[in-house]
């Protein structure tokens, strides 16, 4: 499966903005991508990364080397499913990936994780549920996949999760098969922490093909479904009054 966009990239603060943008655009273009979403962690949620500041965003080109940039963000999901970020920062992001992280939420019960994912998916701010198959947070997969299908919000298959934990591949494969069964959209992301990881989706595109997952189910596997997904994001946020 050929992927044309990377919708989960962390690089803010590693170099001046224009330099990072150049590195991302070069890497993305080499890998045949047409779009790269910068989704660094929002302020006050993590000491690992910082988000792009409005000043950074102002110098970020719309397109470079034929690669379009989206200025997004990654938001932490709290134990009760709220997104831990200032609403104005969430509203300012063109794409929000939401995820649970051990530095933020201690693992609880399967039911608690399920309810938290459910609430986060239902948030008008959330566009993608990021790395849900990370080990610390088991949940009722059918319930979340069914909800994602109903809301049309993609569940992420994360290359970094798979690189750090081989067992995660099995879990992500199970998620992909359930998504196919329920018609829930998927997205494959690098979660790049370095420029050279942009557009590196590891083995995921290959095993998606092996499993017979339809390319049309993966929002970043075709220009038409990518455009349709981004249009849905804009329309939903405009309707909720949270599109800047």
Q: List residues near Zn ion by CB under 5 A.
A: 99
Q: Which residue's CB is nearer to Zn ion, number 89 or number 225? A: 89
User: Please, what is the minimum distance in Å from the beta carbon of residue 235 to Zn ion?
Assistant: 26
Q: How far apart are CA 104 and CA 85, in angstroms?
A: 12
Q: Which residue's CB is nearer to Zn ion, number 130 or number 176? A: 130
With CB atoms as reference, the residue minimizing the distance to Zn ion is: 99
Q: Which residue's CB is nearer to Zn ion, number 10 or number 225? A: 10
Q: Give the tokens for residue 165.
A: 């934990």
For the CA atoms of 227, 233, 237, 239, the dihedral, rounded to the nearest 10 degrees, stands at 70
Q: Which residue's CB is nearer to Zn ion, number 99 or number 217? A: 99
In DSSP notation, 195-243 reads GGGTT--TTHHHHHHHTT--GGGBTTSSHHHHHHHHHHHHHHHHHTT--
User: Please, what is the minimum distance in Å from the beta carbon of residue 201 to Zn ion?
Assistant: 16
User: Please, what is the minimum distance in Å from the beta carbon of residue 131 to Zn ion?
Assistant: 6
Q: Which residue's CB is nearer to Zn ion, number 38 or number 99? A: 99
Classify the phi-psi angles of 221: left when phi > 0, otherwise alpha if psi is within -120 to 50, otherwise beta.
alpha
User: Please, what is the minimum distance in Å from the beta carbon of residue 101 to Zn ion?
Assistant: 6
User: Please, what is the minimum distance in Å from the beta carbon of residue 130 to Zn ion?
Assistant: 5
Backbone angles phi, psi at 38, to 5 degrees: -90, 115
Cα–Cα distances in angstroms (integers) from residue 55 to residues 15, 62, 190, in the given order: 14, 14, 25
């Amino acid at each position: 499966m050929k992927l044309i966009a990377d919708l989960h990239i962390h690089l803010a603060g590693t170099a001046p903005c224009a330099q990072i943008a150049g590195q991302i655009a070069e890497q993305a273009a080499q890998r045949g991508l047409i779009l790269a979403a910068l989704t660094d962690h929002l302020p006050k949620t993590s000491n690992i990364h910082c988000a792009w500041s409005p000043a950074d965003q102002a110098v970020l080109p719309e397109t470079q080397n034929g690669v379009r940039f989206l200025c997004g963000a990654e938001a932490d999901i709290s134990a009760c499913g709220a997104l831990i970020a200032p609403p104005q920062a969430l509203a300012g992001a063109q794409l929000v990936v939401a995820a649970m992280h051990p530095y933020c939420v201690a693992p609880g019960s399967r039911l608690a994780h399920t309810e938290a994912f459910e609430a986060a998916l239902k948030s008008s701010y959330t566009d993608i549920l990021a790395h849900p198959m990370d080990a610390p947070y088991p949940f009722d997969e059918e319930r979340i996949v069914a909800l994602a299908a109903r809301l049309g919000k993609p569940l992420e298959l994360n290359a970094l999760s798979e690189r750090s934990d081989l067992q995660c591949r099995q879990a992500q494969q199970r998620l992909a098969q359930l998504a196919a069964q329920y018609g829930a959209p998927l997205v494959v992301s690098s979660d790049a922490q370095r420029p050279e990881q942009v557009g590196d989706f590891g083995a995921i595109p290959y095993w998606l093909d092996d499993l017979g997952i339809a390319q049309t189910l993966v929002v970043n596997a075709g220009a038409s479904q990518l455009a349709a997904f981004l249009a849905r994001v804009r329309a939903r946020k405009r309707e909720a009054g949270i599109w800047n």
